[in-house]
């Protein structure tokens, strides 16, 4: 999203579905910009992105920009599994809920500064074994659609940081196994799940392409692969859409 307005404003922000999105000045092109993610669960239709800003003298600017969310069809996978593999005992359920809450709380935070630069990288080579958005029905129960992409890769394959940022989480989670989450600033997060080994430390500043760990099969996983996820202002987006969008950007 871009807005051409007088430069050197005190602030400029967008608002979409109740979320505030800080916009930053692209000094080369003299406009304000931000990356906006539309969640996997968003309903197709016409939306509006509100934009407001204020100059240093206190004069305000208000605007709105139309945004159309188009329908995308995702495939559905139907599976039958022994209930012992699907149903969680109360203690595990409590653990899973706690972990989900912690992750969601993380994605609500927006670091205004931009830590990322240029194009995002695919963190490991490998074919897509499970695409983004795949809907899963297990034992006739609807499960959450797949929130990232699974890349098939051999155990031990280095996992690289998609872009520069801070390591904001290193943990061993029930579903995701050994996991790393990076904050790239401006509300963009990337995550790397099921690692066999983690080489990054929480709080550490990371450059694009740094090795974060190795591909594994920890957590709920049926074989070595990397689950790679991207969140933008809390929305789950297809990591490959971020790759395409930033493809031509200079470092
Ligand atoms: Zn996955």
The per-residue pLDDT for range 197-242, each reduced to its tens digit, is 999 999 999 999 999 999 999 999 989 999 999 999 999 999 999 9
Average pLDDT, the chain: 91
**Whether pLDDT at 10 is above 80:** yes
Compute, in angstroms, the gap from residue 137 CA to the centroid of ligand 1.
15
Give pLDDT, residue 152: 96
Give pLDDT, residue 183: 98
Compute, in angstroms, the gap from residue 149 CA to the centroid of ligand 1.
6
Average pLDDT over residues 156-164: 98
Average pLDDT over residues 143-147: 91
Parallel, antiparallel, or unpaired: how do β-strands 177-183 and 165-173 relate? Answer: antiparallel
pLDDT by residue (tens digit) across 64-81? 988 999 998 889 989 888
Compute, in angstroms, the gap from residue 111 CA to the centroid of ligand 1.
26
**Which residue, chain included where needed, has tokens 């407001």?**
52
pLDDT band at 23 (very low <50, low <70, confident <90, very high): confident
Average pLDDT over residues 22-43: 81
Compute, in angstroms, the gap from residue 127 CA to the centroid of ligand 1.
13
Both tokens assigned to 49: 């992105």
Give pLDDT, residue 5: 63
Compute, in angstroms, the gap from residue 198 CA to the centroid of ligand 1.
18
Compute, in angstroms, the gap from residue 133 CA to the centroid of ligand 1.
10
């Amino acid at each position: 999203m871009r807005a051409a307005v007088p430069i050197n404003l005190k602030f400029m922000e967008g608002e979409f579905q109740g979320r505030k999105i800080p916009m930053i000045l692209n000094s080369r092109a003299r406009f304000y910009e931000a990356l906006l993610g539309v969640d996997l669960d968003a309903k197709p239709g016409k939306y509006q992105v509100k934009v407001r800003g204020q100059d240093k003298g206190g004069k305000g600017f208000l605007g709105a920009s139309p945004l159309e969310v188009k329908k995308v069809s995702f495939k559905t996978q139907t599976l039958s599994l022994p209930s012992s593999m699907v149903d969680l005992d109360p203690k595990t359920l409590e653990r899973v809920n706690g972990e989900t809450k912690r992750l969601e709380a993380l994605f609500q935070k927006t670091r205004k500064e931009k830590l990322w630069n240029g194009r995002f990288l695919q963190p490991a080579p490998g074919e897509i074994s499970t695409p983004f958005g795949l809907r899963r029905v297990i034992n006739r129960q609807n499960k959450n659609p797949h929130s990232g992409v699974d890349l098939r890769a051999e155990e031990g394959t280095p996992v690289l940081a998609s872009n520069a940022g801070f390591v904001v989480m290193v943990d061993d989670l029930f579903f995701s196994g050994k996991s790393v989450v990076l904050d790239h600033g401006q509300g963009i997060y990337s995550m790397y799940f099921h690692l066999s080994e983690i080489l990054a430390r929480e709080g550490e500043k990371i450059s694009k392409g740094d090795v974060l760990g190795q591909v594994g099969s920890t957590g709920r996983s049926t074989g070595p692969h990397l689950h790679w996820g991207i969140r933008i202002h809390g929305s789950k987006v297809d990591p490959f859409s971020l790759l395409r969008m930033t493809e031509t950007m200079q470092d």
